[in-house]
Structure 1
Amino acid sequence: MLKSIVSKVIVTAASCVVLLSANSTQATGVLTKYDSKTGEQLHVEFVGQYKSGAKIGEGGTEIVAYDSINKYAFSVNGAAKAVDILDLKGLKDGKQDIPLVKQITLSDLGVSASDVTSVAIHPEGQYIAVTAPAENKVGQGHVVFLTKNGDYLSHVEVGALPDMLTFTSDGTKILVANEGEPNDDYSINPDGTISMIDITGEINSITNDQVTTIKFTDDVIDSNVRKVNNDHTYSEELEPEYIVVDEENKYAYVALQENNAIAKLDLQKQQIISVKSLGFKDYSIEKNKMDASNKDDSISIENWPILSMYQPDGLSSYKVDGQTYILSANEGDAQDYDGFSEEQRVKDLKDSYELNASLYEGYTQEELNKLVEEGLFEDNQLGRLNSTTSAPKNENGKYEAIYAYGARSFSIWNGDSLEQTYDSGSDFEDITQKVYGKNYFNSNNDENSFDSRSDDKGPEPESVIVGKVQGQNYAFIGLERVGGIMIYNVDNPSAPTFTKYFSSRVFNEEEEVTSSSGDVAPEGLTFISAEDSPTGQNLLLAAHEISGTIAAYQIGIEVEKPGDSDTPGKPDDKEDPVEVKDPVPGDEGVEQPKEESEVLIPEKINNGKESTEEMKEQEKKTVENDNEQEKKESLKNASQGHHKLPNTASVNNNLILLGVMFTLIGFLAFRKVEEQ
């Protein structure tokens, strides 16, 4: 009898160990983080994830929209050519797995379509709208209206290759970016246009009469706006990529990525009133540096004789002191088709250059000539850099500057003049090299590599969104290649301050990205305010295209874990949360807690010179220090009458140890019974 009881104790204890171990690996998403050395800090915490089930690289999650009424999210699934409906309500209770409610497929759309490219929800949550390109991408596409349960309502016809749509905040209009890309053999190049849809009537009975498709006319286009192919008209050349609307619903701003321009649309007049070139970023000046080679076996973030186009993908807008500002994520993009390509490496054009110092702020002609003599066009300098052949030439038929794609940054532009008020310079590469060093700096998003994107467009900022946290404006910028998200305080549009970089991508020794690589390649970002959030705290949803996942991050000054109190976002005593800033290096004598999930990066590792064993030892010391710090904080809080549930992961770890102890005790007792 005693033997049977002891056996059951052993089995039960062992089962607890297994279950708790499994739970502990799923309980907390480990984030790589890098904080500003000065200024305020934000707390970022991984609180949930949706897994589309798509294979790596198939685009299982691309764009994500949020319904604040039902607490649902709608995600474009490029792999399935569908829209996934997700339920976020479980985040309130600390459940990290975001479930799929339903999938809306092409067959549900009621139109002939090749894909689903974008989704948006009516501001009052009445229905959703999706863009559906034609089966032949140069044909007219559609916008389809569906209930929030995915049932078909109606559709209208728009322009060629509708790639993005957005509602005005008053819920009266939808704006659609019809990109109008050419076909692969470049024989047909449809007009890029903007469709404006009047949705003031019953959406069930909407017709094409409510659609106004607006074309670009030469009279509003600056003469220096880029044409990729001079054989085409501007209306054929301009390719709308992204649209953002100002707070008053007076103007819309349209990113024309390949053309390195932004168009401004008057919504009342239903007219494009200007198309302005964004100019070039001069990498010869001190604040602008880049690593331009993937063949130098080093991190070389330096000044170069490069003029690079901004070419933004995502845009966002916000207002400061009554003035509208536009933020741009300066990804860069080239026209590259079977029938035409502008891309060519610098070394293949070396005989076509006559570099002219008058185009660069940071070089004299003598200095430029010396750079060329010393191997500027070799692979370990600028030879590997992708550049454009669609650039101005002098009377000798030569390029007087090296023109590249993307600015590896985010910028802020005045909404009236579209003059630049700020650019983040070389911040993104400076910061990510401190985080990843010679292990994964400028890695691609389909492999765990070093320096593989330096010759292209570096980290490739893809998307940008602005959200308010405790009354302050923060910009969140997703980096498509190396991964992760940059945060800047943008209360001052002329002098934003870097706050934090974080990433839930997991780098490992495997060459290729796998299902264990975490969240890879942020594409679409959605900020959810605390009042609209299922957790009662600010959330950021990030759709990661390569991994096919959506990560939910909780953002705040001090963030409670979901499920920590009856009222989400409030301590048990119902008082407003107190601002607690992350530790700022150099603050002596101030004892502050570190975030448990933070992966601290030693200076030697930042420079890529510390071994794996040293990294492990450093992480071990960090965990020990964090545990000691947590004990001190617990005692401090208890003495002050503060009560907060202990960290879930810490509890699980303690229970696992107890389970192991009980298993050992049971085993010894079993042996004792056997001996008797």
Structure 2
Amino acid sequence: MQTLKHTLFVAAALVGLNSCNNDDDNQTTTPPVDTSVNFQFKSTINIGGEGSAEISAFDPSTNKLFTVNTESDQISIYDISDVNVPVLATPIDVSAFGAPNSVAVHNGKVAVAVEASNKQAAGKVYVYNTSDSSLANEYTVGSLPDMVTFTKDGNFILVANEGEPNDDYTVDPDGTVSIIEVANNTVTTLDFSAFNSQEAALENQGFRVFGPNADLAADVEPEYITVSEDSQYAWVSLQENNGIAKVNLQTKTIEAIYPLGFKDYSVSGNAIDASDKDDTNELKTWPVYGMYQPDAITSVNINGTDYVISANEGDSREYEGTPGYVGEDRVKDVTLDETAFPTSEDYQANEKIGRLKIALDLGDTDGDGDYDKLYNYGARSFSIWSADGALLYDSGNEIATRVLAETPDRFNWDWEDDATDKRSDDKGAEPESVEVLNIANQRYILFVGLERNSQVMVYDITNPVAPQFLQFLQKDTDFAPEGLLAVKAEDSPTGKALVIISYEDSGTVSIYENE
């Protein structure tokens, strides 16, 4: 495991005021809050085989950890009262309906998003009591519910329903967002049909609508949801489409879609390693664009301002049925415009950008059958956006640069081959997940999960436009972090903040404590 590097220590803040008695000199003070950051490994839970640990949720009232176990179509449950020795409890089985995708906890209730056996059919959200796993309620939601979360006030359960097509791409349900009102058990499922008329304008700003014969409402695939601190708004990542939607929870409407545009890899601060066949780990600038395409997103309010943070993983579509749809190819296998990409530069060589995978639906700007621009999937970074979709900060090539400097054996790594540089031609480290820990409203700590590198990077984002790197979290037996869960010190069984990491490929969950 990588030890702490570049740890920042901020002086502990005095949060109480001295109170004086006019009759004597007695004074009382509030103890200072420890805002130092140094996460250390405590234990690992082996949930099962590959794919068995995706997303976890924690209930502070029972000290139970609930983890999506897709191998067994269950929610695995562990008592982590002693974080060093988690104790297995009886799981929640949802296999009678389908497969679980996501789990969330609030105030003694655990919500589970379950896709139907027929993925294009309506899904379910089951709500259980955390104390005894008894079923409290169930709700019908949209097709393929992929992520579930509670609003901060607990009044709503929100669900991102991806609505993925079938393997033949002949059935493509609308992507939707379901709002479950807990008080009266009503379900409002919102689609994106109101934006069909805005498709061209959104595409001009970098949004993508590209599925065969799909309008915008069918093409969008809601991936992840984050909720504002005041529970008034939610933001939804539309990964394949390269956008984020904003939902007004007061009016139960989708208020806006924010196209995220493109990242220029010809700029020095955005340099990438674009080849897995160049026999070197080196960042260079190339005439290529990246699509942000966030997977997980999170939000935080710092000094009264909302920020949305995205893990810019990227994702392509590959459906190999008949007729199906395959949306990517390598640069060496497409025809390039000779003016934009002079043959003298030999861009299609393996050691240059020939191996790089690109989107086939973008780049033929003049419609003549060759590619005038090239667009790679993902942005190999994390970004911080305003509440209205303006880019405030992007980490550029900070992830790749930091990994090369401090853990070069994990650079664009592929754990199955235990080899560096294997993912350079795809999406690099693939930032998959993000989570924020608020320490006493004084420090805001960001965790960024790198799926391919099997690492979690820790940053201080107290100044959101100038994040500071703190440390790497990694363990040789944990592969592909899928879910990140931050537990505040006041909710933790140890009295210290925790970060709990669910690793999809290794089927493990590891617990780290802030010491």
Q: How many angstroms does 1:99 deviate by?
A: 1.9
SS of equivalent residue, structure 1 residue 165: strand
Which of 138, 162, 184 is matched with 1:179 structurally? 162
Which of 400, 422, 443 is matched with 2:413 structurally? 443
Residue pairs, 1:273-292, within 5 angstroms: 273-292=255-274
Aligned residues of 1:194 and 1:240 also touching (Cα < 8 A):
yes
Q: Tell me the residue number matched to 1:100.
A: 88
- Cα RMSD, aligned residues only: 1.7
- Per-residue CA deviations over 1:70-90 (Å, capped at 9, x if unaligned) read 111100011111101111101
Which of 19, 41, 50 is matched with 2:45 structurally? 50
Letter in 2 for 1:214: L
Letter in 1 for 2:274: A
1:115 and 2:99 aligned = yes
Q: Tell me the residue number matched to 2:189.
A: 213
Q: Tell me the residue number matched to 2:478.
A: 519
Q: Tell me the residue number matched to 1:624.
A: none
The alpha-carbon distance between structure 1 residues 392 and 130, as it changes in their structure 2 partners (threshold 3 A), is same
- Per-residue CA deviations over 1:602-646 (Å, capped at 9, x if unaligned) read xxxxxxxxxxxxxxxxxxxxxxxxxxxxxxxxxxxxxxxxxxxxx
Residue pairs, 1:98-177, within 5 angstroms: 98-107=86-95, 112-122=96-106, 124-125=107-108, 127-148=109-130, 149-177=132-160
Unaligned segments of structure 2, at least 5 residues: 11-35
The alpha-carbon distance between structure 1 residues 38 and 89, as it changes in their structure 2 partners (threshold 3 A), is closer
Q: Distance between the aligned counterparts of 2:253 and 2:39, measured in 1?
A: 41
Letter in 1 for 2:407: Y
Q: Distance between the aligned counterparts of 1:86 and 1:269, measured in 2?
A: 38
SS of equivalent residue, structure 2 residue 166: coil
Q: Tell me the residue number matched to 1:378.
A: 349
Which of 69, 73, 77 is matched with 1:85 structurally? 77
Which of 552, 555, 564 is matched with 2:511 structurally? 552
Q: Distance between the aligned counterparts of 1:170 and 1:38, measured in 2?
A: 32
SS of equivalent residue, structure 2 residue 403: helix
Letter in 2 for 1:223: L
Letter in 1 for 2:282: S
More RCO (CA 8 Å, sep 6+): 1
Q: Distance between the aligned counterparts of 2:288 and 2:483, measured in 1?
A: 29
Q: Tell me the residue number matched to 1:66.
A: 58
Q: How many angstroms does 1:114 deviate by?
A: 2.3
Letter in 2 for 1:89: S
Q: How many angstroms does 1:300 deviate by?
A: 1.7
Q: How many angstroms does 1:65 deviate by?
A: 0.3
SS of equivalent residue, structure 1 residue 298: coil
Aligned residues of 1:50 and 1:99 also touching (Cα < 8 A):
no
The alpha-carbon distance between structure 1 residues 469 and 447, as it changes in their structure 2 partners (threshold 3 A), is farther
Q: Tell me the residue number matched to 2:202.
A: 223
Q: Tell me the residue number matched to 1:656.
A: none
Q: Tell me the residue number matched to 1:405.
A: 377
Q: Distance between the aligned counterparts of 2:3 and 2:364, measured in 1?
A: 45
Letter in 2 for 1:453: R
Which of 478, 487, 496 is matched with 1:537 structurally? 496
Q: Which structure has the highest helix share of the two?
A: 1
1:453 and 2:423 aligned = yes
Residue pairs, 1:337-416, within 5 angstroms: 337-338=319-320, 339-349=324-334, 351-354=335-338, 356=340, 369=342, 372-395=343-366, 396-415=368-387
Letter in 2 for 1:159: G
The alpha-carbon distance between structure 1 residues 269 and 61, as it changes in their structure 2 partners (threshold 3 A), is same
SS of equivalent residue, structure 1 residue 117: strand
Q: Distance between the aligned counterparts of 2:3 and 2:271, measured in 1?
A: 23
Q: Tell me the residue number matched to 1:271.
A: 253
Letter in 2 for 1:65: A
Letter in 2 for 1:182: P
Q: How many angstroms does 1:354 deviate by?
A: 4.9
Which of 168, 176, 198 is matched with 1:193 structurally? 176
SS of equivalent residue, structure 2 residue 399: helix
Q: Which structure has the highest strand share of the two?
A: 2
SS of equivalent residue, structure 2 residue 116: coil
Q: Distance between the aligned counterparts of 1:551 and 1:435, measured in 2?
A: 22
- Per-residue CA deviations over 1:564-621 (Å, capped at 9, x if unaligned) read xxxxxxxxxxxxxxxxxxxxxxxxxxxxxxxxxxxxxxxxxxxxxxxxxxxxxxxxxx
Letter in 1 for 2:89: V
Q: How many angstroms does 1:37 deviate by?
A: 8.5
Q: Distance between the aligned counterparts of 2:374 and 2:355, measured in 1?
A: 12
Q: How many angstroms does 1:169 deviate by?
A: 1.0
Q: Distance between the aligned counterparts of 1:291 and 1:499, measured in 2?
A: 24
Q: How many angstroms does 1:436 deviate by?
A: 3.5
Aligned residues of 1:529 and 1:539 also touching (Cα < 8 A):
yes
Q: Distance between the aligned counterparts of 1:402 and 1:549, measured in 2?
A: 37
The alpha-carbon distance between structure 1 residues 39 and 422, as it changes in their structure 2 partners (threshold 3 A), is farther
Q: How many angstroms does 1:39 deviate by?
A: 7.7
Letter in 2 for 1:113: F
Q: How many angstroms does 1:321 deviate by?
A: 2.4
Residue pairs, 1:18-57, within 5 angstroms: 31-33=1-3, 35-36=5-6, 42-52=37-47, 54-55=48-49
SS of equivalent residue, structure 1 residue 236: helix
Letter in 1 for 2:239: Q
Q: How many angstroms does 1:34 deviate by?
A: 6.0
Letter in 2 for 1:404: N
Letter in 2 for 1:120: A
Q: Tell me the residue number matched to 1:501.
A: 472
Q: How many angstroms does 1:455 deviate by?
A: 0.6
Q: Distance between the aligned counterparts of 2:369 and 2:232, measured in 1?
A: 44
Q: Tell me the residue number matched to 2:453.
A: 482
Q: How many angstroms does 1:355 deviate by?
A: 6.0
Unaligned segments of structure 1, at least 5 residues: 1-30, 357-367, 507-517, 560-676
- Per-residue CA deviations over 1:349-380 (Å, capped at 9, x if unaligned) read 1x243564xxxxxxxxxxx63xx413211111
Q: How many angstroms does 1:198 deviate by?
A: 0.8
Greater CA radius of gyration, 1 or 2? 1
Q: Which moved more, 1:445-454 or 1:382-391?
A: 445-454
The alpha-carbon distance between structure 1 residues 246 and 452, as it changes in their structure 2 partners (threshold 3 A), is same
Residue pairs, 1:605-616, within 5 angstroms: none
Q: Distance between the aligned counterparts of 1:322 and 1:479, measured in 2?
A: 29
- Give runs of ≥4 in structure 1 deviating > 6 Å: 37-41
Aligned residues of 1:220 and 1:272 also touching (Cα < 8 A):
no
Q: How many angstroms does 1:450 deviate by?
A: 1.8
Aligned residues of 2:455 and 2:481 also touching (Cα < 8 A):
yes
Aligned residues of 2:9 and 2:37 also touching (Cα < 8 A):
no
Letter in 2 for 1:212: T
Letter in 1 for 2:424: S
The alpha-carbon distance between structure 1 residues 463 and 440, as it changes in their structure 2 partners (threshold 3 A), is closer
SS of equivalent residue, structure 1 residue 89: coil
Q: Tell me the residue number matched to 1:296.
A: 278
Which of 399, 405, 427 is matched with 2:398 structurally? 427
Q: How many angstroms does 1:496 deviate by?
A: 1.5
Letter in 2 for 1:152: L
- Per-residue CA deviations over 1:91-148 (Å, capped at 9, x if unaligned) read 2xxxx232211111125xxxx52201111112x22x2111111111001111111121
Aligned residues of 2:7 and 2:37 also touching (Cα < 8 A):
no
Q: How many angstroms does 1:238 deviate by?
A: 0.4
Q: How many angstroms does 1:228 deviate by?
A: 2.1
Letter in 2 for 1:169: K
Q: Distance between the aligned counterparts of 1:542 and 1:114, measured in 2?
A: 24
Q: TM-score, normalised by structure 2?
A: 0.90
Aligned residues of 2:451 and 2:481 also touching (Cα < 8 A):
yes
Q: How many angstroms does 1:253 deviate by?
A: 0.3
Identity over aligned pairs, percent: 39
Q: Distance between the aligned counterparts of 1:541 and 1:98, measured in 2?
A: 12
- Per-residue CA deviations over 1:192-238 (Å, capped at 9, x if unaligned) read 0001111014xxxx4xxx11110102256652221122621001100
Aligned residues of 2:155 and 2:182 also touching (Cα < 8 A):
yes
